[in-house]
Structure 1
Amino acid sequence: MPEKFGGKLFYSAEESEQLGLVPSDEELAAADRMFEEFENRRRTAPPAPDGTTPGFGGRFSNDHEGTEFEGWTRDPVTRQWYDQNGRLVPDQGPDNSAEQQ
């Protein structure tokens, strides 16, 4: 059964294969070409103006947008996450115990 996290669905390898979600060699080659075109555009793009987020905007700039994590921020000094209301979000490890910093 797929798991939903961060607004995205995650399937096991077996589920992906059964549903036909595993890309063919042709699809992988096309994706590689698209990625190379993107990388060429990124390498030749001028620097972003001060005070703006560099990149192409939209989904390439904010992975939290449109998910249950939208509005969350992370303090780079303390490495703590805060929700959209500024409340501290406790870090949880894979076993739901607090992670060690």
Structure 2
Amino acid sequence: MPKKIGGKIVYTPEEAENLGMRMLTPEEIARAQASLDQFQKDRAAAGPATEGTSPGFGGRFSDDLDGTEWEGWTLDPKTGQWRDQNGNPVDEGKA
């Protein structure tokens, strides 16, 4: 059964195949991994960002999952205690 994670629907490989979705070939995965590895190497070799600029792509290329790790968390107004998406108290030292 598909899961909704961070506002995205995630399927298992079997579910995707049953829906007729195209799966990546091992060659495509290897090519993408090599490209990502090169990007990470170039990024690590780059100097620091200039003062007053924000590194990253931003705009429409920003991380659309940014902040979703806190999705569903609530602050109890009576106690000031944060609770996770399941209603469990959160130890702020570990959050």
State the TM-score, normalized to the length of structure 1: 0.52
Aligned partners of 1:2 and 1:12 also within 8 Å: yes
Query: What amino acid is the match of 1:98?
Result: N
Give the number of the structure whose alpha-carbon radius of gyration is greater: 2
Q: Which residue of 1 aligns with 2:7?
A: 7
1:76 counterpart residue number: none
Q: Going by fraction, where is helix more abundant, 1 or 2?
A: 2
Distance 1:39 1:62 in 2: 16
Aligned residue type for 1:36:
D
SS at match of 2:28: helix
TM-score (norm 2): 0.54
CA offsets 1:45-79 (integer angstroms, 9 cap, x no match): 221133443334346653347xxx6xx8xxxxxxx
Q: Deviations over 1:19-64 (max 9, x none)?
A: 3443211111111121122112212222113344333434665334
| AA aligned opposite 2:3 | E
Matched residues, number = 80
Partners of 1:58 and 1:15 in 2: CA distance:
32
Counterpart in the other structure of 1:77: none
Specify which structure has the bigger relative contact order, considering alpha-carbon pairs within 8 angstroms and separated by 6 or more residues.
1
Query: What is the root-mean-square deviation in Å for CA atoms of aligned residues?
Result: 3.3
Q: Does 1:97 align with 2:87?
A: yes
Cα distance between partner residues in 1 of 2:59 and 2:45: 19
**Aligned twin of 1:17:** 17
